[in-house]
Structure formats: structure tokens, C-alpha cells
Structure 1
């Protein structure tokens, strides 16, 4: 079977330095599809990357980095010259009508959020027309599927397939190798004897980092051994200081020894930061379609404190692998939740071990790729009869 992914073009694929859940998903799913399939990923050119190359059995074709309209037409020209059995568009519903008009194969649309169904992203197109032009729609959570159907009532079949995490790169802190890595890293970072609360993600208001720092001001009064490690920048791959980032750093000054800003970290180094932590906090105050950070934390054997909102509720379960807090209760309950886990190592271990099992069974990239492959078979078989 011949499968082509069309990336949004905002960041390089495979994930190079900066990139979000979309680029991470393409990179990890494409390389895990059946070995005898022909898989192509179309994207834009970025410095340091070849116009064409093959990695992990996946062919990457990179178009000139120009406007989205020119990029789409370049993708169509390539796909007309080299036909594929299925074309999957990642998070760009505006691309679908023209692709469906120009190409004879099924067009799948994979939605990672509803952001690009807003007027600014559609260039005057009707969102429902874009959705109805697709043969199938995939969402990264049941929450996003329900939200999409309630807002747009598309006639196109919509299926939810959770994204995943690399359970090989992210090792459980409770495994023997994980313990050795953790000990070495904590010594290198000067964190021996400290309780580390980790935040990883973009430093934007919707992620609730300011609420975490407000809680830390109270937490350190009761436990001066706690340190908060903040990993991420204002946008993917960027350490540009926005007004919000400056606000966070100003807040942290009153408890300076207890907060460290690590900035944007190369994706290959992120497992190290999870390994040295004691718990992970993701206090989002806006709807998250899924939340890859929570999956990475679970795979690392870390208990998670997060918000009972959006797709997060599909991955974090209070008393099972973490603690969920209602958005309206974050200010009141986040401090107590951090102290509760930091003072109860047996509970943290149980939640962390459960999270690792949960990640292995339900949220590995291998599991995700198998679900994608089954969907492709179902779509392709009625037309071709075989792969």
C-alpha cells in the first residue's frame, strides 16, 4: 500500500528541533506502518534538511518553503506524478477540497485541534464543506471527535485514534536502568536530595504555568527542598521572551532558588528531564485535545497532576496514575496536590508505575500505528481487494 502524509509545513519533519504534536505524530506513525508499505511524507524545506531523503523506510519530500497555497499545489503536482493509494492531510482542513478535486484516491483528514477550522485559516472556505470533502476524518481523542461533531455535524465518518509515546526512549524511573539514569542525571544537575516538580510545554497563558508558580510560592514555605523545573519556550523551538514569559520570570524571582527555567530543549533530550523529576504538573486552563506531555510523563513512570479538561481526562485518572483537578479549583487545590505527592513517596511510586503500564498498553506509538494501519486497510480493501 502507498500512503502519503501531507504535513502542515509549519515545522520540519521528521521532528528536528522545534515541532508540536502534529510533527511528532507524523514522525512516529509513518515509520511504524508495515515494512512492506510505501510511505511518503510531504513537507516544506528547512535549513539542514535535504530536499529528498529516506529515513526509517519513510521517504521525505520537501517542497519550496513559500506560501501555503503554493505548498499545496506543489504537493498536488507530486502526488499526480507519483500516485498513492491514500493521502492523509494533517490538521489543515483547507487543503482537503482541492486535493479531493485533483486526486482520485481517498483523502483522510487528521485533526489535532479545531484551530484551523476558524475563519482566519480557511481563506473564505466553509468549514463544513472542508470536512465534508474528506473521505474520512481522524481525531487524536474522543473529546476532539465529540467537539468537532457537535460544532460542525459533518457527514464524513469521524474516528478517534489516540496519539502515543515512545516507550523505548522514555524509560520508567522505577526500572533498574531508569534508576541508574535518574541517579546520574540528578547528580549532574545538582538535584540530589531535592524533590523536582516538572513542567514541560509552551510558555503561554493557556498552559497555566503562572498558576503553577503561584502554587510554588506556597509549596516552598512548607517544603523548602522542592524545586520547580520549567522546560519550554514561548513557541516550539523558540526561547523568545514574550510579555508572558517575562511575567513568569518575575514571579519566580521571589523564590529564585526553587525555580529553574531550562528553555527549549531538543526533543531527544526530553527523556532526561522526565527522568530527573519526581512528579509532572500540566495545569492547563484551556481545552487540550489530548496532551502529549502527560503521555511522556506516564511512560517515564512519573505521577501526573493535571486539569480535568478536554482529552486529558482520557489519559490521566485520579488515584490511578495521577491527580485531576477541575479548572475552577486549580488555585485552591494545586498546592495541596503537589505537597500530597511530594510527601507520599509510596503513593507517587504506585501512580507512576500504573502510568507506565497504562502507556505501554494503550498509548505507545506502536499501538497507535497499528490502529492507523487497520483503518487504512479498511479504506483501501473495498477499492483494491488487496494491499
Structure 2
């Protein structure tokens, strides 16, 4: 037989899918699912492995390899023989998977005849347009992700939201004032291990083959540059680089994306991008999340085959929780988890939909499973404590950092061509920002908003503040740089308020270079968030030396000192925002003083200190 395989390994310890072509032209498939992956799937399905409905999906390719039709074959826990003539296959393409709740097909593995040829994902018998991969919303999501409760706050619900696959509105979080009040005496223990604890010893030279004798760290993150959705990507990148500079061997396992190699070694960090298998049929959001975790587990198993020996796992947010918990159990190593935000915070603590409750449970599960939980602010520490009740001794506040030198010294003529967006607002082909953003003209005062277009980022209040502001500062201009499910409502609100271009521009999602160009031309940066665990955009604006107006919500109150390095406005108040923006735009001396104070603070907020704190925590967990 002419046998080919995408993975060759010991059947009891690994996951693989192989085939052999018989002299008669039949294709005999052989497959195995590792015990770790079986355990993760059975826990998700709440069924024993022998009851999981496994399926082999085979594909027929068109002559130009651009389209494929598929046929499903239910299988038992035995090799499956597929007749080439029966399936009408011109080449042996297949996926091994199972039918999840509600019968969506979840691929575990795929195998193709030519490893150098991309697997077909343009399906003629299945519609890919509604696949909820990599997005916060979709037509088959429970009710979406991070939806908050369906309150009428700032914007009315739109009648066509359901048809658009988007929630009608998002909600502000609670202030957690009760939790903060009750924990006033307990907040001080939210700190890292004592500074006298020595940092971990330097590992030996790192390599692609993972040959170091020092236990490496495996970071799991669903986004990592150039796949950027929010602040999580920058946070993971900055921390991993900082840890590498301290001598740690850091491997970041993330999801494969366009315009990025499967493996990359950058600034001392090993970056591994694993494909999340997209099959012919759309997945509900929570099932897509689990399929992504299968990809994380598959990638981790691959790295161990290549010789990596990980001594610690660091998971970022609930989206990686299932794989992180399984790897902790399989490898018997400690698990650290950074919770960047919570569904409870985004939804004001309201019970919400079935999907929201599932996400809240995933938040709690990660916090309980982790040996230690890291958060980016004291506000977030109180939020996690209120939501999970975990011990204060299990929580550590490690603030985010910023590469101040990378943000400083930009001029308004900086490169504006690092916009990356797709239909989901994510990484895609670079587009020219200049077509959607024009630098402020003579006498114009440019206000910049950077962030996801979701309710909790508060852009609706910024829009409502503009008519009030224009009465006092008629040269004010607003650019909203971001993408998200709330954009149609925000555009409708801008039209209702008579805020057409050039007074208000929607610039789309901005990558790092575009963000620097936008900040360089800003007279003031507005951060009107209703819920903000930390405020990374605010810190980036500080690093760029821009005056800042932010709402006094969440971690922003810990980052911004009112009147010294920025101005704070009452949350959810267009009047308060307009007042503070007018103060900056109308007083050049105040703007210059705030900008100077902001840049001084940013220079003290690099990644060296957070990385050192996490390094001490790693050492404590390993010891």
C-alpha cells in the first residue's frame, strides 16, 4: 500500500489520521485520538468516549481545487475503509470529527493527499458565510459574546439586529463598589511573591527543537499579533517578550491567521500558530471556542513530539480554558491564568442569555482550575473575587505595560497603512487608512477614539457629546478607529445627530502603525469606556504624549490621575465628556501640561516590572 500520513506517532499517545491506497484503488483510513483529547471531548460532551458520534467527512474537489463537496460517514472506534469510486473522490481529502450538541460537525483532524496544497475550505454544498470563527457575533451564536443585558442605554435597539446576527444593545458593568468596599482591608494582599524571592535561573539556549533543559512556559492565547481584536494581543506580546529578556523560554501557542507564519521566533519568543479547523458547516460560537481549544491541545501535543518539555502553562482568558485545564491534568504542571475581563463585568452582572451564562461559567472554571490568577488592576481583582469567591492569596495584580519608545516620537505623517480587517474586523489585507482618515486641517482639533465598537467602550456617549462640544469648539473633529458589532448603531446615531464627515469619521480597525499615526495627529484622545479592566488604549495615548480624557470607570481610575496626566469624566454622561474635552481643546497650556505628565507616567510603565513580577510568580509556582 502507498501509505501517507499527516502525523506519524505512537497510537496510544497521540492524535493522527492516515490513509493507504490499495491496489484496487480503495482508500483505507487509520486514525487515533489521544487519551488527553478523548478526555477533553468527553468532558465537553458529558458522554463516555464510546458513545461520542464520530464521523469521517470526505471531500470531492473540483478540477481547480477551489470548491469541494463533502459526504459524511458515521464510524465506530475502528479503521474505516472508504471506496474511492463510491465517494467520487479525485484526491483523498478527509476530516475526522464528531457530532456535537445539536449535531454540528466538530473537526478533530484533517488529512490531505498533498501536504503543500491548502485544504479546501470553499464548500459548494455548505455555506461558509455564517461561520462564527474568530468573531464576537454570528448568526448561530447563543446571543453573541460579551453582550451585556438588553438594556436601552445610549442607543435604542434596532429592529433588524436579529437578522443581522448582532445584539440590539450592550450594557455597562456594575461598579463592584460593594465588593471593593468589603475588601478594602484585603486589597493589599493582591501582590506578587516577595521581591526577595529570586527570579528563575537562566535557561540554556532556546531553539526551534525545544532542547532546553529548563522547564519552558507554554502560553495559550487566542489572539497574538498580527491577529489583534482588543488589548489582549498586545498584553500577551509585551509580557512574553519581557519574560524572554529575563531568561525564560516562552512558547506562545495561538491560532493560525493570514499573513503570519506557522512558526516564528521573535524577540526571543517562540510563536506557534495552530490552524483551527474550519469545516463545511457553520459552528455556534461556543462550539467554535471548543474547536479552537482542540486546536490548542493538538498543537501542544505536536510541540511535545518535537521535544518541548513544559514546566508551566499560562492561559489567557476563558477562551483557552478547556485546553489549559486538560494540559494541566495531562502534564501534571502548574497553571497560571490571566483574566483580562469577565462576562459578569461586561453584562453588569445580569444573568443574561444561555450563552452569557455559559461564558460566566467558563470564567469561573478557569479561575478555579488555575493555581494562580493574574489580573491587570485592583478593580479587576475585586471583580474576580466577587464573581468567583476564590481566595485573595490566589490573586495577583500585574498591570499591563507599554513600549513607550515605540509610541513616542511619531509625527502626523507616520505610516497609515497598517489597517487590517476582514468581515469580522480582524486581520486581513492591509488597507490605506488615508482613504478613511484625513489629518486635521489648519485650525481643526482632532479627537481620536481607538477601540472595539461595542457598547461597553462608550462611543455612543462620545457621539452624543459632539453636538455639545461643537457649540464651544466648532473646529472639533472626531475619528472613531475600530470595528465591531455596534458599528451600524453608532453610524445610525451619528446620522441622527447630524454628525456627517468630516465632523465624524469611521476609520475602521487600525493596526499598530495606523494607531501611531492617528495618535500623532490627535489634539486629544477620548476613552469613554463604561467597563474597562485596565485601559491599554489610555496608556498608549500617554506614551504617545497626547492629552487624555477618560471616563472614571474600572482600571482607568487607577491609571489616570485627574488634572495631572489626564482628565476624568463621569461615566455614561455626554455632558461630562463634552465638558472635559472642551477644557483640553480650549486651553493649550492645560493640554501641554497633561500631555507631558502622561508621557512621564508612560515612561515608568514599561514591561520590565510586570515581567519581573510574573517571573517571581512562576518561580513560586514551580517551587
Q: TM-score, normalised by structure 1?
A: 0.84
Asked if the contact 1:252/1:259 (under 8 Å) is kept, the reply is no
Asked if the contact 2:446/2:524 (under 8 Å) is kept, the reply is yes
Asked if the contact 1:303/1:355 (under 8 Å) is kept, the reply is yes
1:163 counterpart SS class: coil
- Give the aligned partner of residue 174 of structure 1: none
- Give the aligned partner of residue 213 of structure 1: 463
Moved more, 223-232 or 76-85: 76-85
1:29 paired with 2:229, answer: no
- Give the aligned partner of residue 238 of structure 1: none
Larger Rg: 2
- Give the aligned partner of residue 366 of structure 1: 608
The structure 2 residue matched to 1:296, chosen from 540, 557, 560, is 540
- Give the aligned partner of residue 88 of structure 1: 314
2:615 counterpart SS class: helix
Give 1:132 shift: 2.5
- Give the aligned partner of residue 406 of structure 2: 169
Gaps of 5+ in 2: 1-213, 278-290, 346-350, 417-437
Deviations 1:143-181 (A, max 9, x none): 11111112211147110111122201111xxxxx55xx2
Asked if the contact 2:447/2:523 (under 8 Å) is kept, the reply is yes
CA distance in 2, matches of 1:116, 1:89: 19
1:165 counterpart SS class: coil
- Give the aligned partner of residue 385 of structure 1: none
Asked if the contact 1:204/1:244 (under 8 Å) is kept, the reply is no
Distance 1:344 1:152, change over 3 A: same
Distance 1:246 1:124, change over 3 A: closer
The structure 2 residue matched to 1:189, chosen from 421, 439, 447, is 439
CA RMSD of aligned residues (A): 2.8
Give 1:208 shift: 1.7
- Give the aligned partner of residue 247 of structure 1: 492
The structure 1 residue matched to 2:295, chosen from 63, 71, 87, is 71
CA distance in 1, matches of 2:414, 2:397: 40
- Give the aligned partner of residue 267 of structure 2: 56
Greater fraction helix = 1
CA distance in 2, matches of 1:169, 1:131: 33
1:106 paired with 2:330, answer: no
Deviations 1:194-233 (A, max 9, x none): 2111111112222221211221112222222221122111
2:406 counterpart SS class: coil
Asked if the contact 1:161/1:371 (under 8 Å) is kept, the reply is yes
Give 1:298 shift: 0.9
The structure 1 residue matched to 2:226, chosen from 6, 11, 16, is 16
Give 1:255 shift: 5.1
CA distance in 2, matches of 1:220, 1:242: 22
CA distance in 2, matches of 1:123, 1:229: 32
CA distance in 1, matches of 2:259, 2:413: 35
Gaps of 5+ in 1: 172-176, 236-240, 383-387
Asked if the contact 1:17/1:266 (under 8 Å) is kept, the reply is no
Q: TM-score, normalised by structure 2?
A: 0.54
Moved more, 343-352 or 216-225: 216-225
Map of 1:197-346 to 2, 5 A cutoff?
A: 197-234=447-484, 242-251=487-496, 253-254=498-499, 256-285=501-530, 287-327=531-571, 330-346=573-589
CA distance in 1, matches of 2:313, 2:332: 10
Give 1:72 shift: 3.8
